[in-house]
Amino acid sequence: MPLIELKDLCKGFAQPGAEPLTLLRNLNFSLEDGESIAVVGPSGCGKSTLLNILGTLERPDQGQQFFEGRDVLAMDAPSLGVLRNQRIGFVFQLHHLLPQCTALENVLLPTLAKSSPLGPEEARERAESLLEQVGLSHRLQSLPHTLSGGERQRVALARALIHRPALLLADEPTGALDERNAAQLTELLLELHRVQGMAMVLVTHHPLQAARMGRVCTLEAGVLHS
Ligand SMILES: Nc1ncnc2c1ncn2[C@@H]1O[C@H](COP(=O)(O)OP(=O)(O)OP(=O)(O)O)[C@@H](O)[C@H]1O
Ligand SMILES: [Mg+2]
């Protein structure tokens, strides 16, 4: 069974005073456990929209969507919340860390959900271990504003992986970083992908980063080409 399966998926948006915008046109896609893929395509083609659908943050207009064999579009909001919290990790272009919380507390945030499988001690151990893996064991108590952009993204990556998700979704995670930090974060993504074994979907505008993934897909005119 694939980790993700999309069948004949359609998504568009109404636009005031213009023809509706069609982003995904009968899109078919599947992703196996542990696979890594890059999604590339011109600005505005719908890459973030596709990622949001994969992360169950947005609903398609039509079609079928399965995650670990479960019919996502038949699930209610609380069940989707648990699915997102436990099975999917997100990293965006901006880190979205809570400014008043330390690096360690930010990584622990997802474990505060009632549905978290981690008890407080186990959660803390895993958070510390992840922060060590992203090279920040010396910054556990640092607040986000005292960290560099690259360091903040590394905290966000540790937070995304706290529940050992089956899927990591990364939407231009290096988009706000300089070249050196961008390359470092990409290497870290690949290293954690290798060690933790989660599947990974990376949206990027950098051909070199895309080429490091197992498969590169281009979103073009609503269709995903391998
Ligand atoms: N909620 C929404 N309502 C209306 N239009 C939307 C909505 N979300 C996205 N769009 C439009 O859909 C198109 C695709 O947006 P999306 O963010 O998915 O593109 P993208 O491929 O990620 O672009 P970029 O590379 O610039 O990040 C854009 O034209 C955007 O304005
Ligand atoms: Mg985008």
The pLDDT value recorded for residue 181 is 85
CA 74 – CA 52 distance, rounded (Å)? 17
9: helix, strand or coil: strand
Strand 223-225 with 215-220, pairing: antiparallel
Token couple for 195: 């060690």
Question: Which helix H or strand E contains 52, and what residues bound it?
Answer: helix 47-54
The pLDDT value recorded for residue 65 is 98
Strand 36-40 with 18-31, pairing: unpaired
Distance 171 CA to ligand 2 centre (A): 7
* Ligand 1 pocket at CB < 6 A: 13, 21, 23, 41, 43-49
> Which residue CA neighbors atom 1 of ligand 1 most closely?
13
**pTM of the predicted model, to two decimals?**
0.93
CA 183 – CA 162 distance, rounded (Å)? 23
Token couple for 119: 């008890």
% of residues, the chain, pLDDT over 70:
100
> Which residue out of 21, 22, 49, 59 has the highest number of ligand 1 atoms within 8 Å of its CB and is therefore the one to mutate?
49
Distance 43 CA to ligand 1 centre (A): 8
C-alpha triplet 104, 107, 109: angle, nearest 5°: 110
Residue 210 has pLDDT above 90, yes or no: yes
> Which residue CA neighbors atom 30 of ligand 1 most closely?
44
Distance 44 CA to ligand 1 centre (A): 5
Q: Which domains does the chain have, with CATH numbers?
A: 4-225 (3.40.50.300)
The pLDDT value recorded for residue 226 is 85
Residue 11 phi/psi, 5° resolution? -150, 135
**Span 150-158, mean pLDDT?**
93
Check: CB of residue 198 under 8 Å from CB of residue 4. Answer: no
Model confidence pLDDT, tens digit, residues 100-135: 999 999 999 999 998 899 999 999 999 999 999 989
